Each structure stands twice: as C-alpha cells, then as structure tokens.
Amino acid sequence: MSSASKFKLEYIWLDGYTPIPTMRSKTKIVSEAPESYKDCPVWGFDGSSTEQAEGHDSDCVLMPVALYPDSTRLNGYLVMCEVRLPNGDPHPSNTRAHVEDKEDLWIGLEQEYFFYENGAPLGFPEEGYPGPQGPYYCGVGMSSVGPVARQIAEEHIDIVLDAGINLEGINAEVAKGQWEFQIFAKGSKNIGDDMWVARYILVRLCEKYGLDVNWHCKPVSGDWNGSGMHTNFSTEYMRETGGKEYFEKLMGAFEEYKEEHIAAYGPDNHLRLTGLHETQSIDKFSWGVADRGASVRVPHSFVANDQYKGYLEDRRPNSQADPYQIIGRVLKTIASVE
C-alpha cells in the first residue's frame, strides 16, 4: 500500500519536567484521515522516560484534544494531547485539564524567543558581544538580524497558518538573535493548544537548520532585553460593559494575587522583571496607560471617552511560561471580581 493512502498523526504532549515541561511527540500511522481530534485514537507512551511514571507502572495515556493539518508532511496532522492516567483522570502534570473552559475569553500571546547556535544567540561573535541594542528591533539586513533567522521566521508563518492557527505577526526583537511571533485565539483552552503547537512547529523547523530555540526569559545577562510572553486578554464583559469601577476592582484583584500570578508566569522571572528593559520589578504591581514599564499596560483605546472597556495587557508572563498556567491564573483572578 502506498504512502498516499496512509495518514501520519503526530501526537504532541507535555512531559513531567519541572518547572516548565518540554514537548514530546511521536507519529501514529492510520488508514483514514481524521476530521476532528475526536477521530484520533487514544494512544499511550512510556511515562518512566518523561518524568511522568515509575518504571514498574509506566503506562500513561495520550488523550487527543486538538487537531491541526501539517503542511510539512504528506497526509500529515498534528494532534495536541492531554496526558491522562490509565483510569482516565488527568495526570498530575496535566495543566490543561485545570483551565476553566471559557469561550468568551479572547487572548493574544506575544511569544519572544532567541535563535541559538552553538550555545549562544544567533549572530553573536565567538568571543564577546555584538554591538549594543538599537538596530536589532524590527531590523533589516545581515548586520541587524543575522543569517537564516528571517528565513526560518517566514517558513514558520506559513506552516502555522496552514495549520489553521491565527498567527497575527512576527518581528525581530530588541536583542540580537531575538524574535517574536503573536498568536490570537478565542477560548481559554484554544489559546494554550495553539501556542504549544506553534512552539512545536518552530522547534521542529529549526532542526533543519541546525539551530535551537531558547525560550528562557533571560538567556543573556547584562544590558540585553529578556524574553516575555505579553498576554493581551478580554472577556465579553470587559469588551461590552467595562466601566471604571469594574476596572479598578479588577486591578485591585491583580495586585492582591500578584504572587500567585508570578508563580504561574514562568521560572527565573526575577532575572527579567527588574524594573529595567521595559519591565516592572517582580515585587511590585502597577498599571498605566500605554506604560510598557508597568505590570499591566492599559491601551489608550481602553480608557477612551472614559469608558474603560476593551482589552488589557499583562506584561509579566515570561517567554518560557506554560500558556495553560497563565490563562488559568488570569481566569481565577477575573472570577474573583465577578
């Protein structure tokens, strides 16, 4: 039987490594094309090799939760999965299962990252550092963005869009070798699924170029920007009703739960949230109109005509954070004022 009559399902899941899981994947060959994730068989894996089980009882279950076309393979699909225990309960490492399913939540995530080659950001000299920040942000030309990076970022756009994920833009970022892409989705679980799959596509694509993706929030110490995952969010109430009283109550809750937010926003954030490089200090909470040095940036459109409605940007989540944990925490804080 020819390969044209077979279909390749790439099952993707998050392992049990802490504080941030890494992505794992393996391919299942099937005879019929799935129309949705519900058509994908439940599968399994050896959890003793992923920090999710002991060797004497190692079976873990892959439960499909989202399906994406994979334009890089003939008859290919990407299958995002939750990890379950054999009895069907969520595995302790399964952060997705604990996110409230809220369809009216609209989320835009700005994923910053570094291309890495031989243990250093792409374009860094073998010894020392490149010229200071300034020309790299949205830069053009070899001296600004270096070799290969734009080609990879452009390929990433096409593969992600072909997968049906709403990627809204890319750009070279402030530090040498640093880039960003933005994903928007409606629905609290959808945005986590889409971002993890977009990350997977980028990491897999970089294999072809002999590069790694460094998601760490501060991979280069000193006077270099860290990497964040700014989180733009709104609920139907925020978009349609809003109001100054509600906004102030919401910001009060964000301040009250600032430590819980920091705990969910990725490891080593103290290296990035220093009060410098367009950040607020990790031990403080603030909001400000168009203020990129605040914890929460309030767009001019939000306060226009004294209506206080629209979306807000939490600038504290870092690039390495688990999107499911970010969204879960944001939803809990919003629920506390409803």
Name residues whose C-beta falls within 8 Å of residue 305's C-beta, 6 or more positions apart in sequence: none
**Residue 47 in 3-state DSSP?**
helix
Contacts 24+ apart (CB under 8 A), 300-306: 302/242, 302/247, 306/244
Residue 297: CATH number of its domain = 3.30.590.10
- pTM for the full predicted model: 0.96
269 and 180 both lie in a single domain: yes
Residues 177-202 have pLDDT tens digits of 999 999 999 999 999 999 999 999 99
pLDDT of residue 96 exceeding 80 = yes
CB 54 within 8 A of CB 24: no
DSSP category for residue 42 = P
Which phi and psi angles does 42 have, rounded to 5°?
-65, 140
Under DSSP, the state recorded for 217 is: S
Q: Which domain holds residue 84?
A: 3-94
Phi, psi of 120 (to 5 degrees): -140, 160
CATH number at residue 62: 3.10.20.70
Do 53 and 178 lie in one domain? The reply is no
Summarised one tens digit per residue, pLDDT across range 70-87 is: 999 999 999 999 999 999
Same domain, 29 and 172: no
